[in-house]
Amino acid sequence: MLEGARVFHVNVNCSDLEAARRFWCDGVGFTVGARTTPVAPQPGASFGLDTAHWDADILVGDHGFGGGAVDSLQWLEPAPVLRPIEHLTTCGLNRLGVFVPDLAAATAAVAQHGGVVWGAPVLHDDEHATVNLAFTSDPDGTIVELIEGGGPRLMFAGITCADLAASIAWYERLGFTQLLRVASERPDAGHLRIDGAVSMHEVIMVPPGRGDVTVMLTGFDQPSVAPSARRPANALGPWRIALAVADLDVVLADLASVGVSVHSDTATLDMGPGLPPVRFVCCSGPDGEVLEFIETPT
């Protein structure tokens, strides 16, 4: 299934592209690899919108376009709506995990460039590894988990699941494989902005084509998770995980074979001056997260 598919970028909608750029570049340490600025509105059916017009930075880490990118996008038409998902216990695509070489330096820089640091770094110790991490928010409130360990580089797209087993099974149908499963219990989860104790499982799912970026599925035993209504494409915060594929028609056949419906017919949209058009299609995962498949022929 989805042979060779890898995460190309994770889209994060912002209300102010320049403020987001300061957070990601001056704060986290990414650089602008490309800017997508279509000159006019285009049909938006593939996003569930009447029209689609945006201005966006494609932000890359230390592996450049060979690694995963952040598609920091400001909607021009229609205008941005809602707030990002601001609680880890709310279902859906709600956070990004990012490797940084120096956690203390990164949290200080994020705080100076429009971000909010939730608290002091936390040492997370389990049977697999010991990592130093800190939770932050971007200027709009999108959750960004900083993990010390190299980079800067996008590490994962995080999804909180209403039914963890069902979400794992759905991604396995698409050809993702489990890399790691970590169980965590803490009597005090203040560093996660959760009152009281927490009991959770995090499962790292690797796309068929591997690559730098994984999908982190999270299930909570305690506290209970909150459902999230389907979010429109112009909602602030993370909205879609884009996977690069060699042949979109093969992907459509693969998705149909496992009963996954796409949002619309395939679309080809202009990306702006100097950039090739992009052919793609979107579908929804079990918790409302959107997967976008972008054709990038070898």
pTM above 0.85, yes or no: yes
pLDDT at 259 over 70: yes
> How confident is the model at residue 181, as a pLDDT?
94
How far, in Å, CA of 220 to CA of 63, rounded? 33
Q: Backbone dihedral region of 274: left (phi > 0), alpha (psi from -120 to 50 degrees) or beta?
A: left
Identity (one letter) of the amino acid at 91?
Answer: C
**At which residue do the structure tokens 């494609």 appear?**
58
* Model pLDDT for residues 127-140, shown as the tens digit of each residue: 666 789 999 999 99
Distance CA 35, CA 16 (A): 14
Whole-number pLDDT of residue 126: 66
Give the span between the Cα atoms of 216 and 218, in whole angstroms. 6
The pLDDT of residue 134 is 96
Q: Answer for the pair 25, 274: CB distance below 8 angstroms, yes or no.
A: no
Q: What confidence tens digit (pLDDT) does each residue in 5-57 have?
A: 999 999 999 999 999 999 999 999 999 999 999 999 999 999 999 999 999 99
Residue 229: the pLDDT is 87
Residue 158 CA to its chain's centroid (Å): 6
What pLDDT shows up at residue 160?
98
Q: What is the pLDDT of residue 258?
A: 96
CA 8 to chain centre: 10
Q: Provide the pLDDT for residue 5.
A: 97
Residue 271's region, left for phi above 0, alpha for psi from -120 to 50, else beta, is alpha
User: What digits encode the pLDDT tens for the residues 53-97?
Assistant: 999 999 999 999 989 999 999 999 999 999 999 999 999 999 999
Average pLDDT over the chain, rounded to whole? 95
